[in-house]
Amino acid sequence: MQVRLLGPVDVTRDGALREVPGLRRKAVLATLAVGRGAVVSTDRLIGTVWGEDPPATAVNTLQRHVSYLRQVLGGRDTIVARPPGYLLALDDDATDVTVAERLIRQGTEAAEPAERVRCLRAALALWRGRALADVAGLAQLDVEAERLEVLRLHAQSALVETRFQLGEHAQLVPDLERLARDHPLDEGLHAHLMTALYRSGRPADALAAYQRLRQALAGDLGLDPGQGIRDLEAAILRGDPGTPHAAVVPAQLPLAVRGFAGHADSLVRLDALVQGAVAARSTVVCAVSGPPGVGKTSLAVHWAHRVADRYPDGQLYVNLRGFDHRGAVTDPAEALRGFLHAFRVPSDQVPAGLDERAGRFRSSLAGKRVLIILDSARDADRLPRRGDRQPHSPGVEGHRPRTAGAARPA
């Protein structure tokens, strides 16, 4: 038995499709499936299904929906009542989302290209269209649908990278043209398309793809393409004997948390900080602070996935382990080593000293738009601060450094 969310919401049981009638029943099932393995409160279920103005009968109606869904799923023990709400008690692979996440993780970690292709193709085959397609318009589920669309794009990009390694340039062109149409501002996809076209003997088409991207970025965001894809265009114009390669684009963000909810004010604040930096063409540093357990990392990672397409030259992540109970705090020099490796700087070219590594890192970032997440920093005095924080929610603060920083926001 499996609850399917990567398309319309439905259930497969004993090999047969069992549709779930009604928008609200689908929404209850989807919300429980997104939070599979955890108790979903009655208040959250009601808020997701009915919004901010639920009817007086919402609790009783929710109970009837749960009873119906138990019948569809095959028994009372499939949805367990547990204060303050309900728990979907299914096996690990009982939603298509968990299967897709597992396959994508296996694919990105596999050593052999053929195994990567197999896992990533199997994962992408689970999508039957846009995730949660028939509950669109419900705010909390729209957030999850957005996360799943980012996950799908991550898998597609990883598959493209692997097929490049296997020399499938011409075969990739139709898929990349479709992806570029669907994501007209994604510089990474356009770089792949330009490379595939060039390696297939179509340099004029590769340059035309660059011009479409340039016009889209200028029209929608008021931005120029990043340095990496400009270098790729220049190499194609020169007709370099060496076949140009798509720019190195690190994508180190952890998978976003399933069922992320709340923190709307913090998300708005983060968006505003970055939008201000866009207008000023400057670097911005954002600090998310608060006590343990309030969701600082989940907030930062969720927001980073939302805006990843604005950072076409890469997204970097490191856990500084500032509060590791074993004392295994990440050394700044090691963090920089990891970042340099992400940009394919060979180990023998990574400087030994911290200051020298920082300088080399700044050189790697010159002219690029890169998003960097530094998780679990211990020394709060080195981060921007302003006043007291609310005790039960993460606080967001930002400023623009006087000198060039580690990331140029888009």
pLDDT at 406 over 60: no
210 and 185 assigned to the same domain: yes
Residue 396, pLDDT > 90, answer no
| Torsion of Cα atoms, 287 then 291 then 297 then 298, to 10° | -120
Asked if residue 248 belongs to a domain, the reply is no
User: What is the rounded average pLDDT of the residues 154-183?
Assistant: 89
Question: What's residue 379's pLDDT?
Answer: 64
Q: How many CB atoms lie within 10 A of CB 174?
A: 10
Question: Do 268 and 371 fall into the same domain?
Answer: yes
The sheet carrying 10-13 orders its strands as 2-4, 10-13, 16-19
Note whether 350 and 290 are same-domain residues.
Answer: yes
105 shares its domain with 226? yes
User: What 3-state class would DSSP assign to 404?
Assistant: coil
Clarify whether residues 301 and 358 are in a common domain: yes
* The pLDDT of residue 156 is above 80: yes
- Residue with more model confidence, 103 or 382: 103
Tell me the pLDDT tens digit for each residue of 261-304: 667 778 888 888 777 666 556 677 888 877 766 778 888 888 88
Cβ neighbours of 68 (radius 10 Å): 16
Task: Decide if 407 is inside a domain.
Answer: no
Mean pLDDT of 58-73: 95
Mean pLDDT of 181-189: 87
**By the 8 A CB rule, do 172 and 254 touch?**
no
Domain final residue, candidates 204, 223, 238 = 238
Within-domain flag for 84: yes
Strand partners, 81: 86
Q: Does 48 fall in a domain?
A: yes
Residue that has been written with the tokens 């140029």 in this structure:
408
In a shared domain, residues 100 and 234: yes
Verify that 279 and 384 share a domain, yes or no: yes
C-alpha span between 317 and 370 (Å, rounded): 11
Q: Is the pLDDT of residue 100 over 60?
A: yes
Higher-confidence residue of 312 and 64: namely 64
CA distances from 133 to 9, 137, 247, 303 (A): 7, 9, 34, 22
From the DSSP assignment, how many helices (H) and strands (E) are in the chain? 14, 10
- Flag the least confident range among 46-60, 274-288, 345-359: 274-288
Q: With respect to residue 278, please indicate whether it lies within any of the assigned structural domains.
A: yes
Q: Does the pLDDT of residue 171 top 80, yes or no?
A: yes
DSSP string, 54-80: --TTHHHHHHHHHHHHHHHHTSGGGEE
Please indicate, yes or no, whether residues 111 and 73 belong to a single structural domain of this protein.
Answer: no
Residues 171, 105 within the same domain: yes
Strand partners, 288: 396
259 in a structural domain: no
Amino acid at 28: V
Residue 59: inside a domain: yes
Residue 61 has pLDDT above 70, yes or no: yes
Tell me whether residue 314 is in a domain: yes
**CATH number of 138's domain:** 1.25.40.10
Alpha carbons within 13 A on the beta-carbon side of 290 = 20
Give the C-alpha distances (Å, rounded to integers) separating 28 from 22, 33, 41: 10, 9, 11
**pLDDT band at residue 228 under the 50/70/90 scheme:** confident
Helices 42-50 and 23-34, packing angle to 10 deg: 140
Which candidate, 223, 373, 225, 220, places its Cα nearest to that of 313?
Answer: 225
Q: Which two tokens stand for residue 394?
A: 């993460």
- Given this model, what pLDDT does residue 383 score? 38
Q: Does 255 score more than 60 pLDDT?
A: yes
Alpha carbon distance 362, 370 (integer Å): 11
Question: CA-CA distance, 340 to 359, in Å (whole number)?
Answer: 11
Number of domains in the chain: 3
Same domain membership, residue 83 and residue 110: no
Rg of the chain over CA atoms, in angstroms?
Answer: 23
pLDDT at 167 over 90: no
Most confident region among 139-143, 150-154, 236-240, 243-247 by mean pLDDT: 236-240
Does 373 lie in the same domain as 328? Answer: yes
- What range does the domain containing 342 cover? 264-399
Which of 238, 254, 276 delimits the end of a domain?
238
8 A C-beta contact, residue 224 and residue 218: yes
Residue 312, pLDDT above cutoff 70: yes
- Give CA–CA dist 210/204, Å, rounded: 10
Give the mean pLDDT of 27-40: 88
Which residue would you say has higher pLDDT here, 84 or 305?
A: 84
For 59-64, the CB contacts below 8 A with 24+ separation are 61/24, 62/28
Confidence at residue 400, expressed as pLDDT on a 0 to 100 scale: 47
